[in-house]
């Protein structure tokens, strides 16, 4: 697995090692997980340092591991950060994906199957009448991040056709839950609310644009979708990984404030508003459900778990 130390990566590794006897290897940018970190607790995982922006780095790890299947999760994961760094985002997400597939084809005759973790951001702005979004919806990315993921999909499928490596694409919608970095919107809000509860700040929750709707899915359900796709997904196809229901960000924030018990006032902070925001993203998970996957965790449970984790730190 590339990106094993990331938000979804750690949850996926926990699932893969839960009842597994085969070897599991994972990569991070660092030489090894920091002692005491969640990654370091996964003692059944063999860790490697790898940078998908470096051909030498990718070649070195692929030659050592010689993987049979690859979950490709490594990437620049922040939509907001992509506006300030579009070229590095493209280099990691798009060129990095092509680099990995090329090296796998050249160096690892054992590799049979690759899951590419893409994003619903590839769809861009989709009219309400065309939602929930199906996988046949054409690319119209509205953010540098979305463009880089669309390019990664095209590159991966081309490399797959040239090499024979089986590629399946997972288009994940907004996934949230324990372990998510506070650069992202809901963990950031959870941190503010926990600080308010401990009287470290006044009872005002600073937010960005709340006039958007998103299809939120617990990360623990997302990674089970990835496993289902690796097992039974059709080669060369894309699958939405989502709940099939959208919630306004305002509604989610109100729920989070209610669950926190802070009674915080909500205040828009101009510094938290993105240069561009897709008004609504709701996916159709029917193709994934046809493989036997089902959502298990509802939104309020995820929000409680998020608050509990932040509050325990």
What value does the mean pLDDT of the chain take? 92
Residues 220, 127, single domain; the answer is: yes
| Token output for 287 | 């193709």
Half-sphere CA count of 113, side-chain side, radius 13 A: 14
Residues sharing a CB contact under 8 Å with residue 56, sequence separation 6 or more, in sequence order: none
Instruction: Identify which of 1, 4, 12, 3 has the alpha carbon closest to the alpha carbon of residue 177.
Output: 12
78 occurs within a structural domain: yes
Residues 91, 144, single domain; the answer is: yes
Taking only the tens place, the pLDDT of each residue in 11-41 is: 999 999 986 657 899 999 987 777 778 887 8
What is the distance between the alpha carbons of residues 71 and 226, in angstroms, rounded to a whole number? 8
Give the pLDDT of residue 276: 61
What is the distance between the alpha carbons of residues 87 and 93, in angstroms, rounded to a whole number? 10
Instruction: Identify which of 44, 10, 51, 45 has the alpha carbon closest to the alpha carbon of residue 28.
Output: 51
Residues 123, 67, single domain; the answer is: yes
Taking only the tens place, the pLDDT of each residue in 81-140 is: 999 999 999 999 999 999 999 999 999 788 899 999 999 999 999 999 999 999 999 999
Total number of domains in the chain: 2
Rounded to the nearest 5°, which phi and psi values hold at 105?
A: -65, -35
Q: Kindly tell me if the per-residue pLDDT of 201 is higher than 90.
A: no
Residues 97, 170, single domain; the answer is: yes
Give the pLDDT of residue 37: 80
Q: Domain span at residue 190?
A: 178-213+246-284+291-312
Taking only the tens place, the pLDDT of each residue in 243-301 is: 999 999 999 999 999 999 998 999 888 877 766 678 899 999 999 999 999 999 999 99
Residues 100, 182, single domain; the answer is: no
Burial of 20 from C-beta contacts in 10 A (0-12 / 13-18 / 19+): exposed
This prediction has a pTM of: 0.93
Taking only the tens place, the pLDDT of each residue in 144-156 is: 999 999 999 999 9
Residues 189, 102, single domain; the answer is: no
- Pairing mode of beta strands 204-207, 265-268: parallel
Over range 168-175, report the average pLDDT: 97
């Amino acid at each position: 697995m590339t990106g094993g130390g990331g938000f979804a990566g750690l949850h996926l590794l926990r699932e893969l090692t839960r009842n597994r006897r085969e070897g599991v290897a994972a990569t991070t940018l660092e030489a090894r997980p920091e002692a005491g970190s969640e990654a370091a607790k996964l003692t059944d995982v063999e860790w490697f340092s790898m940078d998908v922006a470096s051909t030498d780095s990718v070649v070195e790890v692929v030659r050592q591991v010689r993987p049979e299947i690859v979950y490709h999760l490594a990437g620049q994961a922040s939509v907001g950060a992509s506006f300030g760094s579009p070229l590095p985002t493209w280099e990691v997400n798009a060129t990095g994906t092509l680099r990995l597939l090329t090296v796998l084809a050249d160096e690892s005759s054992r590799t049979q199957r690759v899951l590419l973790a893409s994003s619903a951001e590839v769809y861009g702005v989709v009219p309400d009448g065309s939602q929930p979004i199906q996988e046949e919806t054409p690319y119209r990315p509205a953010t540098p991040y979305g463009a880089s993921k669309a390019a990664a999909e095209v590159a991966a499928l081309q490399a797959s056709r040239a090499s024979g490596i089986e590629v399946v694409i997972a288009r994940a919608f907004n996934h949230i839950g324990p372990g998510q970095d506070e650069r992202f919107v809901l963990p950031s809000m959870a941190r503010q609310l926990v600080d308010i509860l401990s009287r470290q700040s006044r009872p005002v929750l600073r937010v960005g644009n709340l006039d958007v709707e998103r299809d939120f899915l617990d990360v623990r359900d997302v990674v089970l979708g990835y496993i289902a796709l690796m097992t039974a997904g059709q080669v060369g196809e894309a699958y939405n990984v989502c709940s099939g229901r959208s919630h306004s960000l305002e509604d989610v924030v109100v729920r989070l404030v209610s669950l926190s018990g802070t009674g915080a006032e909500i205040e828009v902070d101009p510094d938290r508003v993105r240069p561009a925001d897709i008004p609504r993203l709701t996916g159709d998970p029917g193709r994934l459900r046809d493989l036997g996957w089902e959502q298990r965790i509802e939104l309020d449970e995820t929000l409680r778990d998020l608050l509990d984790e932040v509050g325990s730190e």
